[in-house]
Each structure stands twice: as structure tokens, then as C-alpha cells.
Structure 1
Amino acid sequence: MNRQHLKNKLSTLSLSMFRKDFFGIYHGSLSAKTESNRFLINTKEAVFDAIDENSLIELYFKKDYRWSQASIDSNIHFSIYSQISDAKFVSFSMPPFTTAYSLEHNIITPKDYFGFKELGSIEIVDPKQFEDWYDRAQSEIAYYFQTKKTNIMVIRGYGVYAFNRDLHEMAKKLAILEKSCRLLMLDGSQKDYNFD
């Protein structure tokens, strides 16, 4: 796939995810593997509703000066790409309903049709203390994906890591997850009211 086409796809998805509040102004990350030993990822200054040529940087697995300009999540993306051959695209997002739901629950069990059929139950991972989370995340996230044989990881109070071979499939799963969590929260709030 040519680089320009790939950049356009990332830009389109980024804007869509930004509009859905999955990405903040400088919060989140999105990448694509370009070769066996390199990947495109957003820079640390990237604004997700306007990803362009200057907002993406190509990193080699062997670290060089470019890594200092890249997203703070670059090490985590690198770890996923280097250990999971199926990973062609990786994202870190903070969908509001999924993240909020993760604060009070240990598992997400969708009650809607699409969530049930596409996702099934998803464990919510507790990162324990946040103080050293970024030091541990690089190894823990890739390890989780490998041992649990999944491509979505919901981390309590932090957000969602996902990877896929197909960019649109990854986006679809994230959208279904967010809708399912929104429905679960709405369903839960209804139980607090007595309409009689």
C-alpha cells in the first residue's frame, strides 16, 4: 500500500474518531505498520481532527532522533508490532462511555445484538497504580494481547488499545464497544428510577 494512501486513511479515521470523542486534542494515538521494521504514527503535537503530512512520522524499530518527535505511545505501538504479526494498525483511544464503564466494572458483557455478536464479553484490565503505568505498559499490553488471544484491551480509567489487520474493522469494533457501553450505562441508570 502506498504511503500517501495510508496517510489519507489514517487521517480520515482520526477525524471520525475525534468527532466521536475517542481522541482528545492531544490525547490518543494511531499507527500503521509500513514494513516489517517500521511504522507510521502520529507526532506528539498531532491534533486528531487535522492529521496531515506533518502530523505523522515514520519510525524504524531501531530508535533514532525521530522517536523524540513521535507520540508518547510509540513504545507501546512498537512492542505490539514487533511481537504480533497480525498487527497492521494500532490505536489507543479513550472512548468516554467505555472508559467510564471501566471505572466501576470488571467485565463488559454487551446486552445489545451487535455487541454480543461482534465482541462477546471483554475483561477490564486494572493497571493497578498509575504512577509507573507507562513504564509497564509497553510489555504488559503486548503480553495481554498474546496471552488472551484478543485484539482489544480495555484498561480501567485509561482507555482502549486495539489492533487489527484492517483499519476499518478496528474502527468498527471500537465503535460497537463504545455503543454497547453507552447502552449498558443507560440501562443501568434506568434501574435507579421508579417510573410508577
Structure 2
Amino acid sequence: MTEPPRDARERLIEGTRELLWERGYVGTSPTAIWRASGVGQGSMYHHFQGKPDLVLAAEQRSAEQMQRDIRACFAQEGSAYERISAYLLRERDALRGCPVGRLVADPEIAADGRLREPARETFAVLHECLVSALEDGRNAGEFAADLDAVRTASTLAAVVQGGYTLARAEASAEPYERAVQGALALLRLADR
């Protein structure tokens, strides 16, 4: 049985998500959106007031998916270290980077609080999950009693985002992998 065709609105959102991830806001022109989604020019303006509204819908979709993935990763059984490790080591395309994090580097998105909000919300979910896992580990004696969960969570999130940047600069996933392994080694030292 074949899958029914998605409606034009859905195709516009999905096409825009991919383009934003690959090209950013400025590189995602209306023409590129129409081509990627396979819809006519009028469809975009029928479903959205313009490019910013469509971009926001695409960002929200990416953010929702990423937030679900983050929560699922941290909801797994295991020690705090194992849950954090599972998040840091989960399969990713380091050269493509983060579909949400890459967007805030775009000046058009950084300047618009409404377009920035999905990324802010997503990083807040990540921070909350990391803090909770770190506090669990600290309370269980897995990490040092004086471990600052809030600062460590920020550091771990920055390692992932910075690792993507390093990987893209070298056109290799290796710098990302080194950054994550380094963070895990430092986290292991926090149990002493």
C-alpha cells in the first residue's frame, strides 16, 4: 500500500526544515522552498504569511523533535553517567550539525526573538535534563558532592554544539568525537 501524499502545508514545513539545516535562513529562498517541497508559489502564501512564518513553523517542528529525542534519551534506565553518555554518544551527523543550534548562528534568526525562541526552548530542555541527571549522579555518590550541576550541564551542552563547529571546520567527525570523549573523561574525574 502506498503512502498518501502529504498536504502542501506539511511539504512546505518539511522542505523548509531541510533547507534551514543545510543553508540557514538567508540561504533558504522562497524559490528553494518551492522546489524542495514540490508545491507552487501560491501554496506558501496560502498557508503562511511569508517566509518568517514558514521558517518559524519549520523551526518549531525541528525543536519539538529534538526535545522528544532529548527527553527519551534521558528517560532511559541506567546510572547518571550512562544516561549522559548515551546522550553525548548518540548517533548524529556531526558534519551537518544541530538542526536547531545551527540556526541561532544565522544573523536573521539571532535578531528575531520569535525565531530564536524554538532554539532557546530546546536548549532549556537539554539543560534541565542534564542538570537532573547530574544531580541524580551527585546524590547517588556517582559524582563529587561539590559538583556544580548547573555549570556542568552548560559545559556539556557547549561541548556538543562546539564539537559540531569543530567538525565542520575540519570536514571530519573526528573533532566532535574527541570533544565528546574529552567531556566524558572529565565527567568520570568528577567522581573522585
Structure with more of its chain in strand, by fraction? 1
Do both share a fold (TM > 0.5)?
A: no
* TM-score of the aligned structures, taking structure 1 as reference length: 0.26
Based on CA coordinates, which of the two structures has the bigger radius of gyration?
Answer: 2
* TM-score of the aligned structures, taking structure 2 as reference length: 0.27
